[in-house]
């Protein structure tokens, strides 16, 4: 069934009749649109072409009260040929020009990466609107309420209104099942033999209607509740693989088990190599990644914090012998190599892990100088007044 859509082009708002259909050649839904009138941007009054009104009348539809639009652009064009109102004609012509390159480029990227093909198959009812919204967010990095304005200036598929309310309706039109279908097919499409980085970021909000908001460690120092977003992405392709949301009160350590469980259920595999920061390091998380005897362990690379005896013992064993020429490892700065050794080790008495211990002499020297400077300052203060109550703990 045809629908009427509105498109702002420069200072004008034009009315189009849009008819959706299935394109058998491209295998995608498409639409045809035809200009039928214009809206007065100041009063909101709609004017329609006479031929459109006549067609509706022939189809037996109500046309009473429909105002006729007299399209004078052709007349202006003829008038401009004789030197009359040429500037007004030029302004109106320019007002109908849309940017083409950016929207075409972003859609081409979406097609090349396979996003469009998978979206159209997993969320068929609104995939075109999702693509348009994604292109806007990539191009502008602005709130979604400005999507409609961006569409007026750029050549986009005719998906109807993308005003703020329509975007809200779009985001509520699909849920968990559609997301699972998408991620399952997306992972099968992008999976490669590469490292998968896993990290969590948080978003703060003033909203009082989001159940996932919670008070937790706010990385930006904002005094607001937040939600946590956990994402996996390939380090070689730098493409997202999986993403999920958590209550903002949950810590990085707590969310890892749930994320890996969801990922395994959706993709049907544990065959990835995870790279994480030390915020995820805990005995519980390492045991979760190793799994039980019936499971294939996740491969992972994670820093061990010096709050654990496991890390302290590894460093203690290498302290006296690591700083030798045989252990030199060159970094991106050839003038500042580090020292490093590999050692097999045992976890929980029966699991073999690989430990990599590093020593940075430049950092060691800087930290040693900081400690010496601090102690020398305290010594000088103690010699002057060793009974000063404000520094008794430091003196000791």
Residue 159: Cβ within 10 Å count: 21
Task: Tell me whether residue 181 is in a domain.
Answer: no
Choosing from 254, 274, 303, the residue where a domain stops is: 303
Specify whether 78 is located in the same domain as 111.
Answer: no
Task: Tell me whether residue 154 is in a domain.
Answer: yes
CATH number (domain holding residue 264): 3.30.420
Specify whether 160 is located in the same domain as 233.
Answer: no
Specify whether 268 is located in the same domain as 220.
Answer: yes
**pLDDT for 354:** 93
Task: Tell me whether residue 213 is in a domain.
Answer: yes
Q: Which two tokens stand for residue 251?
A: 């810590």
Task: Tell me whether residue 313 is in a domain.
Answer: no
Specify whether 234 is located in the same domain as 249.
Answer: yes
Q: Which two tokens stand for residue 182?
A: 């998408």
**pLDDT for 84:** 47
Task: Tell me whether residue 179 is in a domain.
Answer: no
Specify whether 79 is located in the same domain as 90.
Answer: yes
- CB–CB of 321/309 below 8 Å? no
Per-residue pLDDT tens, the chain, 396 aa: give them.
677 877 776 667 888 887 776 666 655 566 677 788 888 877 778 888 888 888 888 888 888 888 887 765 555 444 444 444 566 666 666 666 778 888 889 888 988 888 889 998 898 888 889 999 999 999 888 888 888 888 888 888 888 888 888 888 888 888 888 888 898 888 888 877 667 888 888 888 888 877 778 887 766 677 888 888 888 888 777 888 888 888 877 776 677 878 888 888 888 778 788 888 887 888 888 888 888 777 788 889 999 888 888 899 999 999 999 999 999 999 888 788 999 999 998 888 788 899 999 999 999 999 999 999 999 999 999 999 988 888 888 888
Lay out the sheet containing 328-329: strands in order across: 328-329, 338-347, 351-359
Task: Tell me whether residue 54 is in a domain.
Answer: yes
**pLDDT for 211:** 76
Specify whether 121 is located in the same domain as 39.
Answer: no
Q: How many structural domains comprise the chain? A: 4
| CA gap 151, 7 in Å, rounded | 8
Specify whether 200 is located in the same domain as 271.
Answer: yes
Q: To which residue do tokens 């304005």 refer?
A: 149
Specify whether 68 is located in the same domain as 143.
Answer: no
In the chain, the largest separation of any two C-alpha atoms, in whole Å, equals: 106
Task: Tell me whether residue 263 is in a domain.
Answer: yes
Choosing from 97, 122, 142, the residue where a domain stops is: 97
Termini Cα distance of the chain = 84
Strand residue runs (E) in 165-311: 195-204, 226-234, 240-247, 273-275, 299-301
Specify whether 65 is located in the same domain as 113.
Answer: no
Lay out the sheet containing 195-204: strands in order across: 240-247, 226-234, 195-204, 273-275, 299-301
Is residue 154 classed exposed, middle or buried when 0-12, 13-18 and 19+ CB atoms within 10 A define those classes? Answer: buried
Specify whether 34 is located in the same domain as 68.
Answer: yes
Residue 74: Cβ within 10 Å count: 8
CA distances, 349 to each of 172, 261, 293, 345, 346 (Å): 50, 25, 14, 10, 6
Specify whether 55 is located in the same domain as 117.
Answer: no
Specify whether 114 is located in the same domain as 88.
Answer: no
Choosing from 73, 97, 121, the residue where a domain stops is: 97
Q: To which residue do tokens 């103690």 refer?
A: 382
For residue 379, report the phi and psi dihedrals to the nearest 5 degrees: -60, -45
**pLDDT for 310:** 87
Tell me which H or E stretch contains 29: strand 28-39
Domain that holds residue 383: 362-395
Nearest to 127 by CA among 17, 4, 29: 29
Task: Tell me whether residue 342 is in a domain.
Answer: no
**pLDDT for 79:** 47
């Amino acid at each position: 069934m045809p629908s009427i859509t509105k498109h702002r082009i420069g200072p004008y708002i034009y009315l189009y009749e849009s008819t959706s259909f299935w394109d058998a050649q491209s295998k995608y839904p498409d639409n045809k649109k035809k200009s039928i009138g214009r809206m007065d941007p100041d009063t909101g009054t709609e004017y329609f072409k006479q031929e459109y009104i006549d067609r509706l009348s022939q189809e037996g539809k109500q046309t009473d009260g429909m105002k006729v639009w007299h399209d004078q652009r052709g007349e202006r064009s003829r008038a401009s040929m004789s030197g009359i109102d040429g500037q007004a004609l030029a302004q109106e012509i320019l007002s109908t020009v849309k940017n083409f390159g950016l929207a075409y480029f972003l859609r081409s990227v979406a097609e090349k990466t396979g996003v469009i093909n998978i979206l159209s198959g997993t969320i068929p009812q609104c995939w075109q609107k999702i693509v348009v919204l994604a292109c806007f967010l990539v191009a502008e990095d602005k709130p979604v309420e400005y999507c409609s304005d961006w569409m007026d200036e750029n050549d986009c598929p005719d998906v109807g209104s993308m005003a703020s309310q329509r975007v809200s309706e779009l985001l509520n039109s699909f849920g968990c099942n559609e997301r699972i279908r998408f991620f399952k097919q997306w992972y099968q499409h992008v999976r490669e033999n590469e490292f998968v980085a896993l990290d969590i970021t948080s978003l703060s909000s003033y909203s009082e209607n989001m159940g996932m908001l919670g008070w937790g460690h706010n990385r930006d120092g904002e005094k607001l509740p937040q939600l946590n977003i956990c994402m996996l992405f390939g380090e070689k392709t730098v493409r997202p693989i999986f993403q999920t949301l958590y209550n903002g009160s949950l810590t990085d350590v707590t969310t890892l088990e749930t994320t890996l469980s969801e990922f395994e259920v959706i993709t049907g595999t544990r065959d990835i190599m995870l790279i994480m920061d030390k915020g995820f390091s805990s005995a519980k998380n390492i045991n979760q990644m190793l799994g039980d005897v019936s499971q294939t362990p996740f491969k992972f690379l994670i820093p061990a914090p010096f709050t654990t005896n496991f890390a302290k013992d590894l460093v203690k064993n290498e302290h006296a012998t690591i700083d030798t020429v045989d252990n030199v490892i060159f970094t991106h700065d050839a003038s500042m190599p580090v020292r490093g050794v590999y050692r097999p080790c045992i976890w929980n008495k029966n699991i073999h892990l690989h430990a990599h211990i590093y020593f940075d002499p430049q950092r060691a020297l800087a930290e040693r100088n900081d400690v010496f400077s601090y102690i020398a300052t305290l010594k000088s203060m103690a010699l002057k007044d060793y009974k000063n109550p404000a520094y008794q703990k430091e003196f000791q």
